[in-house]
Amino acid sequence: MSDEPNYRTGRWALHFEEIDKEIATLAMMCEVPLIQPGVIERVLHGDILVCGKEKPASFGKLRGLLMMHYSDQAKAIEVLGPEQALAIVSQVVDRLRERFGDRLGAPEA
């Protein structure tokens, strides 16, 4: 039984890693500066003008994956509790920032 929480946590971490890596890839393809404040909300609302390149199909997939991320985050919070679930997501995002750096947009100062 003691392995169950670690297994569950690891599965959720892998799940978010895969989704968020694809989100980062699509954001770079569309030249969407995801890290900048308000950009994710604009994507979620379907504002294609946030793109630096016109790629409607990729933007649609990006938007869908962002919606999936937030939906799955809510499920993870139910299963793991808010502290553990949000820690997993934060760790995944930090690793992606290290990997992709400013290619996802520089945060505003």
pLDDT in tens, 16-48: 999 999 999 999 999 999 888 899 999 999 999
Closest listed residue to residue 96, CA positions, set 38, 35, 29, 44: 35
Q: Band of the pLDDT at 3, cuts 50, 70, 90?
A: very low
Q: Which helix (H) or strand (E) holds 44?
A: helix 39-44
In the predicted structure, residue 67 carries a pLDDT above the cut 70: yes
The pLDDT mean for the chain works out to 88
Burial of 26 (0-12, 13-18, 19+ CB in 10 A): buried
